[in-house]
Amino acid sequence: MAAPHILVVEDDEPIGRSLEDALAAQGYRVTWVTTAAAADIATDRERPDLALVDLGLPDADGVNLCRRIRARRPTTTVVIVTARSDEIDVVLGLDAGADDYVTKPFRLTELLARIRAHLRRPHGEPSHDRLVVGHLTLDPEARRAWLDDRELELRAKEFDLLALLMAQAGRAVTRGRIMAEVWDEHWFGPTKTLDMHISALRRKLSGQDEAYATITTLRGVGYRLELP
């Protein structure tokens, strides 16, 4: 089996070079580019398994690049690597299709661990039974979800997160269980990415009345998808 292919999009030469060397040392195939235009070409040509995307690129905003990578390669895991620490930048990146984010300066050991975690997990595990909770319907095998008759546009992790919450509807699901089942049992690093995905799901699930399912935060525990 061929080693996973990682696309590094980073215009800072010392950071880009260190990432290229570190990833190659781990046995990954690596393509390092410094512009969004080069990343578009590499995405089509190399078909990477995972892309590390800097948001501050010289020729385009990295958020738009994340969106294009997701459109071109739906199965490619996209991880934002950015010096921008404002929550709005992270939310925009996740909404654009990113699966995770890492802020600079980062610890290389943590980044490598998170890359391994992403590459170990497939994009969803098929099941033959549809899940129905109130106005929500989810088809795990087709990886499609609907709110009434409107199909939801969900990123890979959003779908897996919703599937877990719907399967446990009305019951508390701990943060640890979510990270283990949706991300990876060996996940290393902060779990704020989970909070961002919950926020994105809440926006997409918002309805006009209380008959729509809502996600409740259980402080110190996790989350619960409320039965309507």
Residue 210: CATH number of its domain: 1.10.10.10
Do 109 and 147 belong to one domain?
no
- Over the stretch 46-76, which tens digit does the pLDDT of each residue have? 999 999 999 889 999 888 999 899 888 888 9
DSSP 102-152: EESS--HHHHHHHHHHHHHS-S----S--EEETTEEEETTTTEEEETTEEP
Do 9 and 115 belong to one domain?
yes
Range of the domain at 210: 131-225
Average pLDDT, integer, range 164-191: 81
Q: How many CB atoms lie within 10 A of CB 152?
A: 17
Whether residue 125 is contained in a domain is answered as no
- For the chain, the domain total comes to 2
pLDDT at residue 216, rounded to an integer: 92
- Over the stretch 134-156, which tens digit does the pLDDT of each residue have? 788 898 888 889 888 788 999 88
CA distance to 5, 29, 115, 163, 181, per residue, from 2 (Å):
9, 9, 16, 30, 26
Do 31 and 116 belong to one domain?
yes
Provide, rounded to the nearest whole percent, the portion of the chain with pLDDT above 90: 37
* pTM across the whole model: 0.62
